[in-house]
Structure 1
Amino acid sequence: MDEKDEDLDAFDPNIPEEGPSAPPPGWLDDVHGYKGGDGDNPLYPPPPAYTPQPELDRNTSVPNVRVPTVSEDVARDALLKFVESKWTYSSKPARNLTFKDLKPITVYRYRLETYAETRASAWEFESFNGQPVDGPQYGASPPPWDVPVWKPQMFTDRVEKVRVPHSSFVKLCHKCNGCGRTRCTHCHGKGKKRCIHCHGNGRSRNKRCSSCGGRGRKRCSSCHGHGYKTCSVCHGSQNLMHFIQLTVTWKNNISNFIPDRQPDFPDKKFEKVTGDPFFIDENVLVYPIQGFPDQEICDVSRRLIDEHLSRFSSTGRILQQRQTIELVPLTHAHYSYNGKDYGYYVYGVENKVFTSKYPSACTVL
């Protein structure tokens, strides 16, 4: 039997070519309340049964607070710790500097947190091997926002994937058309491929090809000579169980604001330190702060609350909001060393240090 005959014997016309990896359009039926497609489709919530109203006697004003100060010892220790983290800096100036002034600066940080839930749906499938099928015979699928899910702790980010009840059904695999295997795409179902060393001639450099033994063809390494491969979608089971998967996302959306009133200090430094939260207001919906000594905080509170309400209530459900005002410690330390004046900032509860200029650096040899 020559090589051509061997190829014909290996070829099985009953084994289909590979179909699409995803179900083609129209393959799946629509389910009421859910959008079709193979990607996540956002599901907008129905309007709430009621709209929370502000409590007329609820006080959102905040008390006056005293600006914290740091002592010379604390300021020096903070600078020494900072210098130790900079290998080119000498600790000598930090140890021997003379403080001229420690000026506390009032810094308020306003934070608004909106904890929201969003839902999206998509068709998914798995190999069917006789497992129970929760299909429409057990009733209609509940609306997407009525599907029960376990809720995480408030203000905690989490993603949960849930199978929609009564949305499952079984169909032949769309990739192999229910055969359980597909024709090998590397050898086109023949089980053999042309030898790349002799280009199918059987000889290389006027000698019998040592790679294919002079046959000009070699067994396909992808399908091991069978001409077919187990279906990569149904894994040989021939059938798939399709179902709607609901992706529920809980996310704490945070907006921070600090008035920019210290041009020599970069505001981004505040992002990595904490402050003293002396005012915390939490409710389903919070309302703008009133009567705070810093009017800019009041204005920002109103603006961010309006933005969050517009942004997050249109695409999901707002479960809870929390607004906080922190007093973030900031002290401007003025000192002298070797007859010259310098300065640095101590900021945050952690007593971090920022300085744009330091008296001297170690000489690198």
Structure 2
Amino acid sequence: MDEKEDFVVIDPQIPEEGPSAPPPGWLDCVSGYESSKGGEDPYENYHPPPPYAPPDSSQSSHVPNVREPTVSEDVAREALLKYVESKWSFSSKPAKNLVFKDLKPITVYRYRLETYTESRSSNWDSEPFRGQFVDGPEMGLSPPPWEVPVPYPGKYTDVTYRVRVPHSCVVKPCHQCQSMGNVRCSKCFSRGHSRCSHCFGRGHKGAGKNRRRCTLCHGRGVRRCITCHGRGIRVCPSCEGQRNLFHFLQLTVVWKNNIMAYIPPDKVPEFPMAKFEKVSGDAFFEDENLLVYPIVGFPDQEICAMSKKGIEEHIAKFSSNCRILQQRQAIELVPVTHAFYNYHGKVYEYFVYGKENKVFIPKYPSACTIL
């Protein structure tokens, strides 16, 4: 019989494939976890106990005096040579033979605020039931979300941790296959075969003298369904044929280091501000506490204003749905030196910046490309 006319007899009791998530009301509500949903539906974070009060505005953090960054001619030349050697289109001759005209140090401060937070949320999850131990409500009440014990990571590290909520497990018949273990194949509509994608069901390729039988379906126009292997049914993807599902509340704990970095603009008009993001500075002031206080008395008032604003914004943003575990703030001196030099009677310039002594060149004698 032509495979086009073949058909698969399916037991009428085998159900169509249902939704992967259990229907509303399928699972009992667990006290303290009423907002938890099934499947991959979004869910809100749990509010932490009790919110933190803002820092006392009458207190503040004082900053010591700082030094001005300096770079010698030897360091500036070595940094330029290293940069030029990394650019195949640049000649090292100008860097070796330049004559410095001036090395102008520029004081650039970077304020950095870190707020380390913990958030908790939960969702119903499930796996096939294969006889595993069921830690259900009969074992006791489930602890509230913020009382579930979890191992804490090192501070200021981004970590996501998932753990089952104690005493939340329950075994239920599989809702997707109605506890049959199998579902009808939705890929081939339970026929056991589908149209050949190579010849689009025609059984041949080409036309006229170039017409030839399709080598994949052997001229039949249909191919065995690769999902159900021609059976018209497949193992339930939820319970994997076990007929029952092991449901449990899964608590997701997210530790995140929320960072705000700020450099007062227009301190170096000729220098791209974005390049400061990839270099480190000298942290001459550091302050760490559960909640830090705004900086006062620093010569650059923009840094003081940003410290106050940043702390207020972080507390307002994170204290409502996260637990603030720790804060720290720092002021870094990002070294920048504006170098001017003569080469063949012309004056050129470049910048040496960061503790790594990186180089930015607006224009180099042997090339016109701005890099």
Shorter-chain TM-score: which interval?
A: 0.7 to 0.9
Q: CA shift at 1:168, angstroms? A: 1.0
Query: Secondary structure in 1 aligned to 2:22?
Result: coil
Residues 52 and 284, structure 1, Cα contact 8 Å, conserved in 2: no
Query: Is structure 2 residue 72 aligned with structure 1 residue 76?
Result: no
Q: Deviations along 1:297-326, whole A, 9 cap, x unmatched?
A: 111100100011101111201000000011
Query: Is structure 2 residue 213 aligned with structure 1 residue 230?
Result: no
Q: Which residue of 2 aligns with 1:184?
A: 185
Q: Report the AA paired with residue 241 of structure 2.
A: G
Q: Which residue of 2 aligns with 1:143?
A: 144
Residues 7 and 192, structure 2, Cα contact 8 Å, conserved in 1: yes
Q: CA shift at 1:12, angstroms? A: 1.1
Question: 2-side partners of 1:262 and 1:341: how far apart?
Answer: 19
Question: 2-side partners of 1:5 and 1:360: how far apart?
Answer: 76
- 1:287–1:14 Cα change, 3 Å: same
Percent identical across equivalent pairs? Answer: 62
The worse-fitting range, judged by mean Cα deviation, of 211-220 and 85-94 is 211-220
Query: Is structure 2 residue 249 aligned with structure 1 residue 249?
Result: no
Question: 1-side partners of 2:214 and 2:253: how far apart?
Answer: 60
Residues 40 and 121, structure 1, Cα contact 8 Å, conserved in 2: no
Unpaired runs of at least 5, structure 1: 200-207
Q: Which residue of 1 aligns with 2:330?
A: 324
Question: 1-side partners of 2:341 and 2:227: how far apart?
Answer: 75
Query: Is structure 2 residue 280 aligned with structure 1 residue 274?
Result: yes
Q: Which residue of 1 aligns with 2:300?
A: 294
Q: CA shift at 1:192, angstroms? A: 5.7
The worse-fitting range, judged by mean Cα deviation, of 99-108 and 47-56 is 47-56
Q: Which residue of 1 aligns with 2:210?
A: none
Q: Report the AA paired with residue 291 of structure 1.
A: G
Question: 1-side partners of 2:365 and 2:315: how far apart?
Answer: 50
The two structures have a TM-score, normalised by structure 2, of: 0.86
- 1:3–1:60 Cα change, 3 Å: closer
The worse-fitting range, judged by mean Cα deviation, of 240-249 and 213-222 is 213-222
Alignment of 1:21-32 (within 5 A): 21-32=20-31
Aligned residues: 353
Residues 12 and 189, structure 1, Cα contact 8 Å, conserved in 2: no
Q: CA shift at 1:210, angstroms? A: 10
Q: Deviations along 1:277-306, whole A, 9 cap, x unmatched?
A: 111100000000111121111111001000
Query: Secondary structure in 2 aligned to 1:310?
Result: helix
Q: Report the AA paired with residue 22 of structure 1.
A: A
Q: Which residue of 1 aligns with 2:123?
A: 122
Unpaired runs of at least 5, structure 2: 205-212
Question: 1-side partners of 2:275 and 2:69: how far apart?
Answer: 18
Question: 2-side partners of 1:209 and 1:337: how far apart?
Answer: 73
Q: Report the AA paired with residue 23 of structure 2.
A: P
Residues 192 and 224, structure 2, Cα contact 8 Å, conserved in 1: yes
Residues 281 and 332, structure 2, Cα contact 8 Å, conserved in 1: yes
The worse-fitting range, judged by mean Cα deviation, of 87-96 and 186-195 is 186-195
- 1:55–1:185 Cα change, 3 Å: closer
- 1:81–1:147 Cα change, 3 Å: same
The two structures have a TM-score, normalised by structure 1, of: 0.88
Alignment of 1:347-358 (within 5 A): 347-358=353-364
Q: Deviations along 1:41-70, whole A, 9 cap, x unmatched?
A: 1233244376475598x7721111111211
- 1:86–1:16 Cα change, 3 Å: same
Residues 179 and 243, structure 2, Cα contact 8 Å, conserved in 1: yes
- 1:149–1:221 Cα change, 3 Å: closer
Q: Report the AA paired with residue 141 of structure 1.
A: S
- 1:6–1:90 Cα change, 3 Å: closer
Residues 16 and 182, structure 1, Cα contact 8 Å, conserved in 2: yes
- Across the aligned residues of Structure 1 and Structure 2, the Cα RMSD in angstroms comes to 3.0
Q: Report the AA paired with residue 28 of structure 1.
A: L
Query: Secondary structure in 2 aligned to 1:329?
Result: strand
Residues 16 and 183, structure 1, Cα contact 8 Å, conserved in 2: yes
Question: 2-side partners of 1:81 and 1:52: how far apart?
Answer: 48
Query: Secondary structure in 1 aligned to 2:78?
Result: helix
Alignment of 1:95-114 (within 5 A): 95-114=96-115
Q: CA shift at 1:157, angstroms? A: 0.7
Query: Secondary structure in 2 aligned to 1:42?
Result: coil
Question: 1-side partners of 2:216 and 2:284: how far apart?
Answer: 79
- 1:209–1:359 Cα change, 3 Å: closer
Residues 328 and 348, structure 1, Cα contact 8 Å, conserved in 2: yes
Q: Report the AA paired with residue 31 of structure 2.
A: H
- 1:124–1:15 Cα change, 3 Å: same
